[in-house]
Amino acid sequence: MQFASGKSHRHGSHSGRKVLDALKLRWLPRMNRDSRNNARHDISTCPNGYSPVQQGSTSSQSQRLSRPCPHRRPITRLPDELLVHIFILAAQDDVMAPLTVTHICRYWRYLARQTAALWRRVALDSRLRLWNYYFHLSKACTLDIELRLLSHTPSRTRRRDAMLANMSTVELSMHLATRHIQRWRSLSLQLSANVPYLWNTALVACCVPDKSAHAPALRELRLVHPFNDDTKEFMLFDGHAPHLSRVTLCGIRLIWLPSLFQDLTYLDYTHHGFTKGREAAAELLYMLEVSCRLRELRLVFSMTGGRASLVFDNIAFPSSPVQLPCLTYLKLSTDASDIPSAFIYILEHISLPSLNSLSLCTKCDNDHVSFSRLRHVRRAIPPLPALTRVTAEGPWADTSFLSSLLRELIGVHRLTLASQRLDEGSLRILVQALYARAIAGSPLRVLDVGQCGTFRAREIVDAVERYQEVLRLELILPRGTCQADGAELAGGCVTSTY
């Protein structure tokens, strides 16, 4: 057998490499182009709402996508369902998280684009093309719409331009969002810019008396604008939002339709300030009469609202107390120098048979403010047979008021105080009331003074120790307080038993 010489062998291998190089140059670009086109076609032809995670099976499209090597990155060993769940949790904290996920690798990008729930949160601003991309990828999933317009103080020459820019941003953003109003799961508008008639600009598309304004999937509504000066009443969604259960309002007047608000379980209402006294109480009582299924109610009267400018000739109070049989939590709050008279009127005309927790709060920073209407509040409070917890802050933590309250509400077993106003005389009154309850067989179990400051807490400890054999009280004190032997840490506070 004859063998070719070394020279001819080298020449043949060289010519073979030339052929391979020619084949690569001719066919590899075409193959790569075809594979990219196939991948794009596979992703674009997925049906709406399709997700390999939701279907629980691995499709041929996902098999074509190369996952990173599992032995190099442990996170790639996670199942797709768990990985997508992590993405969704990240999107709840950061609205830009879905975009970040799509820039990690090709496989994560595929999972993100096929998970509609990942794109449901939309925080509207001037980047309309970005949010339109979110709307497209959310497919048929329900949406969480947010719009925040923060206030700023430009110079006088630019104030008008800033107002026009704010109105333009709100109008264009809401115009884009209302195209998908049928898919809204929640709507949150938080406006703090001092722009006139801003509610009218933001809600004009939601107040159309037509079927196109219905919100069949809406569950939560949040409308906040403390500097509103528009006294207009708005009728939202043509009266149709059958699943609405949570509402937060501040600085707006709404027509309280039963078809919208009769199934509410949570209401956080900050009064708009256009009415006061009996007019404000009558307005609130009608709202509570409609929303009689509330479980949690928060009422706030703020001095930052609009000026009282609406006066009604005929003020109609309900003939019988408004029944709130499901209400278990009530919070009354104000930043005024005294208790609003509307609170007193409301307490006189409601019935709270299931109320479990009562919170009396204030947003006033002045520690020297005293409420002169506390005695009227005490007389107006209805019978509370199920009440077990009371919280009093600032001027509400008046020991004379709380002592008379505790003497009649024998079911209360936990009292929380948050005040720097307690002195030796007021503490003596409170301890004597607790001693009388203990003698009567209904002792207070827990006294939480963790927010009263270390100095006040020491005075409370000294006052309680005098009756420790009878009270048998559990004290929750601030950290750093000199407590009795056997005290234990509870969170950031010290727990002592007397």
210 in Cβ contact with 182 (< 8 Å)? no
User: What's residue 351's pLDDT?
Assistant: 95
Q: pLDDT tens-digit profile of 149-191?
A: 876 555 555 666 666 777 888 889 999 999 999 999 999 999 8
pLDDT in tens, 465-477: 777 767 778 888 7
Structure tokens at 38: 């196939």
Quick check: 413 and 388 in contact, CB under 8 A? yes
Cβ neighbours of residue 237 closer than 8 Å, sequence gap 6 or more: 181, 206, 213, 214, 215, 218, 260
Amino acid 260: pLDDT: 94
β-pair partners for 448: 416, 476
Q: Is the pLDDT score of 457 beyond 80?
A: no
pLDDT digits (tens, 9 = 90+) for 215-260: 999 999 999 998 888 888 999 999 999 999 999 999 899 999 999 9
Give residue-wise pLDDT tens across range 253-281: 999 999 999 999 999 999 988 888 888 99
Bigger pLDDT: 53 vs 335 = 335
Say if CB 354 and CB 326 are below 8 A apart. yes
User: Does the pLDDT at position 493 exceed 50?
Assistant: no
User: What integer best gives the mean pLDDT of the chain?
Assistant: 79
pLDDT at 194: 74
**For residue 120, what pLDDT is reported?**
94
Predicted local confidence at residue 254, as pLDDT: 93
> How far from 390 is each of 14, 221, 405, CA to CA, in Å?
92, 28, 10
pLDDT, tens digit, 9 for 90 and up, residues 300-332 = 987 665 555 555 556 677 778 999 999 999 999
Q: Of the ranges 58-62, 121-125, 435-439, which one carries the lowest mean pLDDT score?
A: 58-62
Calculate what percentage of the chain has a pLDDT beyond 90. Answer: 39
136, exposed or middle or buried, with CB in 10 Å at 0-12, 13-18, 19+?
Answer: exposed
| Three-state secondary-structure class, residue 27 | helix
Range in 130-144, 402-416, 447-461 the model is least confident about? 447-461
Q: How confident is the model at residue 50 (pLDDT cuts 50, 70, 90)?
A: very low
Q: What is the pLDDT of residues 380-390, one digit of tens each?
A: 999 999 999 99
Q: What is the pLDDT of residue 371?
A: 87
Confidence of residue 9 (pLDDT cuts 50, 70, 90): very low
Residue 117 near residue 141, CB atoms below 8 Å? yes
